[in-house]
Amino acid sequence: MGSETGKKVPYPIIDTDPRFTRVVKYCRGIDFLGGVAVAAAGPGLMYWFEKFQPSGNSGAPLRAAMKAAGGIGIIAGFLHMYTQSSSKSPQGPLLSLYTILPYHTMPYLTQKLNIHTHTYIYTYIDVFFFAFFKVRFLGYKENSREIKKFRKEYAQLKAQGKTMEGLSILTPDLQAVAARYSTNSILNVSILPWFNVVSHPYHGQSEGVIPKEDL
């Protein structure tokens, strides 16, 4: 059991500020499938709505609506995959980025492009994909596979004389600033997606994730 931001979590914490590339690399197949499903949900629902209750604008307006829904879906699908691997989003539906995007996009589609108002349904269906995510790096979700991969990667890098955080061109002060911005930022991914792309030594984890004899 770990303790993240002063709160007990059910599984060991692997890293409180994992690198963007490491999170993507550690994603499970089910995470990728979930991301694809979420990405396809936007244009899929838009197409279904048009079939269910035609708007009478099946040309350019519908294509524009499909593109907007597809763009939102791709962003949402990627963030779904990323958060499944890395963290938990505790915000409720009203604060979700995926609520905000459709909420502001759909009125434009209905008023400017004359797409029928049933597209508003997408706003609310979309929310339920993202209201509460559980994740592995922060110990909210079963993560034994990720711990094994983390230990293996640690051992390989150590054998090569390298560290898990890698080398950085930033000064130690700037590394500390970057760490303060990105540590646990995944908890607010539904408000402002903020990824760690900086190499720095400030990575919290539960005792035992790396065996003492390997440190």
DSSP string, 125-189: HHHTTTS----TTTTSS--HHHHHHHHHHHHHHHHTT--SS---SS-HHHHHHHHHHHTTGGGGT
HEC assignment per residue over 17-39: CCEHHHHHHCCCHHHHHHHHHHH
Q: Which amino acid is at 202?
A: Y
Largest CA distance in the chain: 69
Where do the structural domains in the chain lie, given as residue ranges? 11-26+132-214, 29-86+122-131
Kind and range of the H or E run holding 122: helix 120-127
**Per the structure block, which two tokens stand in for 126?**
């979309």
Structure confidence by residue, pLDDT tens digits, 20-60: 889 889 988 888 888 888 888 878 887 887 787 777 777 77
For residue 203, pLDDT beyond 80: yes
**Contact yes or no for 149/26 (Cβ under 8 A):** yes
Q: What is the reported pTM?
A: 0.68
**Per the structure block, which two tokens stand in for 156?**
């390989």
Structure confidence by residue, pLDDT tens digits, 71-95: 888 888 888 788 877 654 443 333 3
